[in-house]
């Protein structure tokens, strides 16, 4: 029972992680008005630090998770996220906001390389475990949209940060009481069980990292830009933040279910085949979205977010399938540091790109990124050939 509650808290932590990172994107117009910034596009670059720290902080977080302890690092996550959210609410100008968001990004970087390996350590079916966890994270995005919209309309944008921050602190206190103590750091006790040929291992790691970059670009650009995209192409939402939040929440809630389906497929079929099926659909739907308006755009947004969210579990599934538990946090931290470090530039470029070329050109660019994802996925080794190679006697053994 203690582990079930701990698992629930680990999934809830994923929701908090994504919720806190997306409050700014939903509240950016309100914050711009409060700070006297002319346009929301001009304020978007100030959140780059949060996503940059979210990326580069993942590697030291993963290392500490393996060598110090995942339970201890999760406590740092819960309390750090809560404290930084309150600090954001106290800011009075864009540069203070940027620094506080960067601090929050550093604490947010802990979850993926620490919380997911902790969850997978005892998982019998890693695919569905990753799917449920991914759904929880994306429901956090939905919660960010709806809670921020309502709190802005009926309170202010500062309250939209404080409320989830207090929830995070409360979860940390419960986690401290419930989560079982570790019998030593994972990196110092796990027995290595997964061995790959060096060439295969390097190929898997390269594909995993490159795919993480393209997936993160699509994820960051869409989740940070969808609110303003809807306002641009459904003008009735400009003065209705609560309705906008509800519509975005519906998009993210529906899209999050795709991760459950993908998780089940990963447990039953080769990862490469499932990945190719999902990613091949992304390019055409972004092309369609680039020329859609009104409610047709909204329906198209649901579809492309289903595909974007559906591709998220793949890199974690690759790690679970090919990487030993003793180094999972470090490997996960490495790929997150690279992918989110690069894709944070998508957040920085969102405002200037839309201001210069419009959302149509931005969506076409995302379609091109999706095509790149497809080409990268083709390079992932087939699992059956890996198993045959592993089963074959080596020349030295012969």
* Domains of the chain with CATH codes: 2-391 (1.20.1250.20)
**What is the model's pLDDT at position 300?**
94
**What is the model's pLDDT at position 276?**
92
What CA–CA distances, in Å, run from 74 to 22, 69, 134?
A: 20, 9, 17
**Please, is 53 exposed, middle or buried when counting C-beta atoms within 10 Å of its C-beta (0-12, 13-18, 19+)?**
buried
Average pLDDT over residues 162-173: 96
Continuous segment of H or E residues that includes residue 42: helix 40-43
Which of the 8 DSSP states describes residue 181?
P
Mean of pLDDT over the chain: 85
Residue showing tokens 């949060």: 50
- Which tokens go with 167? 């929830």
Average pLDDT over residues 297-321: 88
Q: Looking at the predicted structure, is the pLDDT value of residue 173 above 80?
A: yes
- The C-alpha angle with vertex 219 and arms to 148 and 309, in degrees rounded to 5, equals 90
- Any idea which of 49-58, 164-173, 365-374 has the lowest mean pLDDT? 49-58
Average pLDDT over residues 100-128: 89
Which of the 8 DSSP states describes residue 38?
S
Model-wide pTM > 0.95: no
Residue 324 — φ and ψ, nearest 5°?
-70, 150
Q: Looking at the predicted structure, is the pLDDT value of residue 386 above 80?
A: no
More confident residue, 89 or 252: 89
**What is the model's pLDDT at position 226?**
87
More confident residue, 369 or 357: 369
Q: How far apart are CA 253 and CA 17, in angstroms?
A: 16
Continuous segment of H or E residues that includes residue 219: helix 198-233
**What is the model's pLDDT at position 307?**
94
Q: Looking at the predicted structure, is the pLDDT value of residue 63 above 60?
A: yes
Q: Looking at the predicted structure, is the pLDDT value of residue 166 above 90?
A: yes
Is the distance from CB of 319 to CB of 209 less than 8 angstroms? no
- Any idea which of 106-120, 162-176, 178-192 has the lowest mean pLDDT? 178-192
**What is the model's pLDDT at position 395?**
41
**What is the model's pLDDT at position 391?**
47
381: left (phi over 0), alpha (psi -120 to 50) or beta: beta
Q: For residue range 193-222, list pLDDT tens digits in order.
A: 556 667 777 788 888 888 888 888 898 888
**What is the model's pLDDT at position 396?**
39
Q: For residue range 251-291, list pLDDT tens digits in order.
A: 888 888 888 888 889 888 888 889 999 999 999 999 999 99
More confident residue, 286 or 395: 286
């Amino acid at each position: 029972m203690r582990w079930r509650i701990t698992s629930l808290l680990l999934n809830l932590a994923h929701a908090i992680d994504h919720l806190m990172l997306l409050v700014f994107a939903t509240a950016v117009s309100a914050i711009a008005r409060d700070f006297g910034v002319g346009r929301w596009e001009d304020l978007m670059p100030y959140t780059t630090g949060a996503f940059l720290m979210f990326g580069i902080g993942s590697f030291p977080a993963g290392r500490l998770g393996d060598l110090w302890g995942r339970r201890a690092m999760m406590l740092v996550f819960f309390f750090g996220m809560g404290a930084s959210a309150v600090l954001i609410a106290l800011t009075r100008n864009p540069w203070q906001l940027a620094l506080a968001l960067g601090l929050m990004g550093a604490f947010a970087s802990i979850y993926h390389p620490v919380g997911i390996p902790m969850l997978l350590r005892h998982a019998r079916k890693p695919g569905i475990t990753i799917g449920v966890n991914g759904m929880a994270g994306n429901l956090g995005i939905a919660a960010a949209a709806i809670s921020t919209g309502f709190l802005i309309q009926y309170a202010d944008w500062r309250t939209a940060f404080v409320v989830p921050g207090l929830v995070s602190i409360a979860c940390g206190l419960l986690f401290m009481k419930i989560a079982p103590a570790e019998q030593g750091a994972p990196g110092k006790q796990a027995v290595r069980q997964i061995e790959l040929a060096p060439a295969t291992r390097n190929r898997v790691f390269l594909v995993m990292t490159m795919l993480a970059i393209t997936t993160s670009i699509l994820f960051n650009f869409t989740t940070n830009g969808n609110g303003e995209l809807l306002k641009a192409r459904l003008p009735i939402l400009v003065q209705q933040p609560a309705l906008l939040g509800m519509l975005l929440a519906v998009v993210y809630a529906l899209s999050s279910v795709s991760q459950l389906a993908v998780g089940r497929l990963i447990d039953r079929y080769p990862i490469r085949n499932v990945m190719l099926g999902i990613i091949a659909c992304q390019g055409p739907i972004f092309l369609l979205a680039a020329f859609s308006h009104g409610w047709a755009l909204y329906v198209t947004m649901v579809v492309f977010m289903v595909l974007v969210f559906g591709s998220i579990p793949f890199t974690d599934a690759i790690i679970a399938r090919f990487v030993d538990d003793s180094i999972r946090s470090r490997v996960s931290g490495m790929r997150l540091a690279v992918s989110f470090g690069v894709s944070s530039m998508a957040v920085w470029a969102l405002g200037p790109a839309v201001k210069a070329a419009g959302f149509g050109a931005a969506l076409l660019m995302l379609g091109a990124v999706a095509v790149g994802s497809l080409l990268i996925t083709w390079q992932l080794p087939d699992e059956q050939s890996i198993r045959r190679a592993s089963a074959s006697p080596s020349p030295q053994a012969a």
